[in-house]
Chains A and B, each alone.
Chain A
Amino acid sequence: MVQDPDTPVEKFNPALATESITRFIRDEVTKVGFTRGVVGVSGGIDSAVVAFLTARALGAENTYCISLPYKKHDPSARADAEAIAHALGAPFQTVDIAPMVDAYFAHFPEADHIRRGNVMARMRMIVLYDLSRVHRALVIGTSNKTEALIGYTTLWGDMAAALWPIGDIYKTEVRILARFLGVPERIISKPPTAGLWEGQTDEGELGMSYEEIDAILVELVDKRIPKDVLPERGFDREKVERVYEMMRASQFKRRMPLLPKVSTRSINHDFKYKRDWGR
């Protein structure tokens, strides 16, 4: 069997993952004519792991670590972001997005925290893409498999990237990978946060731990166990339903925009070429 999905996450092989992912980054970056990457480094574990992997793939000197704090939030995040770049010996730059975000919301003072969080994520995207032009680099995304599957992401915001090196790695596996790569323990053990508002944590907002979510996703996605069977296997029915619904409702984030099929050959319908066409 090619992949034994019944093997528990503890068997996840971080050395093999590192080997596979660094080669992926190197291959997919260099064959489109680039040598460098920019990574938005938040001080969290996902972007730390991606920065470490990118540095392994392209060299630390070619891994531009960009901290994009919104000033009022989590002052330690900025220091952690810098610590990651420092640990790698990678170029580091801080761009405070507060003036841009605040200028925008001066027009909409009533905006709730969802709108503010989305605009922050998209502002970071704007800065990263702009700096990618400056550094002649590709934007290396930090989305992991868990958040991409449940849609715990901002469309065209943190999801926007040329590559998703950990897009097939669950959050619980990211932690194993982080330890293998030597990401500072402080960053691994702090509670995951999207940094969308003060005091926000992923697991608080989702109402479930990543261990619980990943265990359900592995059953549904990798093992293709029907969701109605999972309660018999010891899973909480309500949580299974919630994870399934998050996955279903966020499918639009994982696809390109829809277009009406009215001609003979139509983009996204029956005009089929890989991105690596001719590469």
Chain B
Amino acid sequence: MVIKVGLGQIKPALGDVKRNLETHLKVIEQAAAANVDLLVFPELSLTGYYLQDLVPEVALDPENSDVLQQLIDLSHRTNVDLVVGFVEVAADYRFFNSAAYLSQGRLVHIHRKIYLPTYGMFDESRYLAAGEVLRAFDTRFGRMGILICEDLWHPSTLYLMAHDGAHVLIAVSASPGRGLRRPDQLGSAYAWESINRSAAQSYMLYVVYVNRVGFEDGAMFSGGSELVDPFGRCLVKAKTFDEDLCFGEIDALEVRRARTLYPLLRDERLDLTLRELQRIYARRHQLE
């Protein structure tokens, strides 16, 4: 099966869900016109990133949200599967940095960001609760996994997604560009390319990386969204700094071919990993 993916590299407004929804609707129409099967928006695409005290104000309850319902309905009407980023309020009033997979009028999966960066220029744990579940999930286009930004800087998340069966890793981010000491590109852009290529070729899966653009109080979200194939090759690269909508193809046979040529997942010693992790865990927490 070959599917067409769209990388919706948008510039969300900070804390203005209504305006951001309009942006989503516009891009979805464009993607639908281009016969896209799966359209991915960046981290917190409906809200913007540096929300701070706006978190409770912009949070959506997936069980009862007009905004999400509009997008769910649109996934049905346009036949485009969608990944959107938002602040999720849980029944117990914890707030999560979440991304939802919507398909054919259904909410298929929500990933709650697990690793909330709270250092340097980041302060997420002050405002948000960390997700506690990491699962791949089935879509009509095969099994996928969603990770959000900092999640990808913890290789264990990639490992678990791959071994939970994901063929496509949807990686959404709101990554501020920085680092002016490389000849060709921002230091942060270089770091992301390394991570995406390494993830793809270590686990023989597609990486659909979608980063946002625009500024929030001088933090410069730098775009550079990309589609990387299971051999670690970049197939599509979105613009740096500018809004963009670009398309690429995901071919299930390429995953099969990569995993046939490099049967690394087959050879993985889950039992060994588990055993050693249990030992390390016990030692780290002084349970022995």
List chain A residues, Cβ under 8 A from B183: 11, 13
Counted as pairs of residues, one from A and one from B, with CB atoms less than 8 Å apart, the total is 74
A234 within 8 A of B: no
B54 within 8 A of A: yes
* Contact between chains at B188 and A2 (CB < 8 Å): yes
In the bound complex, what is the Cα–Cα distance between A276 and B53 (angstroms)? 13
List chain A residues, Cβ under 8 A from B214: 27
A28 within 8 A of B: yes
* Contact between chains at B220 and A278 (CB < 8 Å): no
Nearest B-chain residue to A23, judged by Cβ: B241
Nearest A-chain residue to B218, judged by Cβ: A24
List chain B residues, Cβ under 8 A from A233: none
* Contact between chains at B215 and A27 (CB < 8 Å): yes
B29 within 8 A of A: no
* Contact between chains at A16 and B185 (CB < 8 Å): yes
Chain A window 247-279, contacts with chain B (Cβ cutoff 8 Å), 1 for yes, 0 for no: 000000000000000000000000111111111
* Contact between chains at B182 and A273 (CB < 8 Å): no
- Determine how close the nearest CB of chain B comes to the CB of A205; give it in whole angstroms: 29
B274 within 8 A of A: no
A127 within 8 A of B: no
List chain B residues, Cβ under 8 A from A273: 52-54
B15 within 8 A of A: yes
Chain B window 173-187, contacts with chain A (Cβ cutoff 8 Å), 1 for yes, 0 for no: 000011111110111
* Contact between chains at B54 and A277 (CB < 8 Å): yes
Tell whether A278 pairs with B15 under 8 Å between CB atoms, given A23-B220, A28-B215. yes
Which B182-215 residues have C-beta < 8 A from chain A? 182-183, 185-188, 191, 214-215
B216 within 8 A of A: yes
List chain B residues, Cβ under 8 A from A277: 14-15, 54
In the bound complex, what is the Cα–Cα distance between A11 and B187 (angstroms)? 12
* Contact between chains at A2 and B191 (CB < 8 Å): yes
In the bound complex, what is the Cα–Cα distance between A3 and B214 (angstroms)? 20
In the bound complex, what is the Cα–Cα distance between A24 and B16 (angstroms)? 20
Say which residue of A2, A7, A28 sits within 8 Å of B178 (CB atoms). A2
Tell whether A276 pairs with B215 under 8 Å between CB atoms, given A3-B181, A3-B188, A24-B220. yes
B50 within 8 A of A: yes
List chain A residues, Cβ under 8 A from B13: 278-279
Say which residue of B180, B185, B191, B218 sits within 8 Å of A12 (CB atoms). B180
Nearest B-chain residue to A19, judged by Cβ: B241
Tell whether A278 pairs with B16 under 8 Å between CB atoms, given A23-B220, A27-B214. yes
* Contact between chains at A4 and B179 (CB < 8 Å): yes
* Contact between chains at B186 and A16 (CB < 8 Å): yes
* Contact between chains at B220 and A4 (CB < 8 Å): no
* Contact between chains at A13 and B182 (CB < 8 Å): yes
Chain B window 210-229, contacts with chain A (Cβ cutoff 8 Å), 1 for yes, 0 for no: 00001111101000000000
* Contact between chains at B15 and A28 (CB < 8 Å): no
Which B1-42 residues have C-beta < 8 A from chain A? 13-16
* Contact between chains at B53 and A272 (CB < 8 Å): yes
* Contact between chains at A278 and B14 (CB < 8 Å): yes
10 CB-based A-B contacts, threshold 8 Å: A3-B179, A13-B182, A16-B185, A16-B186, A20-B177, A274-B50, A276-B50, A276-B216, A278-B14, A279-B14
Chain A: residues with CB nearer than 8 A to chain B?
1-4, 7, 11-13, 16-17, 19-20, 23-24, 27-28, 31, 173, 271-279
Please provide the 8 A-B residue pairs with the shortest distance between their CB atoms, ordered closest to farther. A3-B179, A7-B181, A272-B52, A27-B215, A11-B181, A274-B217, A2-B188, A3-B187
**Other A-B pairs, 20, CB within 8 Å; known A23-B241, A272-B52:** A2-B178, A2-B188, A2-B191, A3-B188, A4-B181, A4-B187, A7-B181, A11-B181, A11-B182, A13-B181, A13-B183, A16-B185, A24-B218, A24-B220, A273-B54, A274-B14, A274-B50, A274-B217, A276-B215, A277-B54
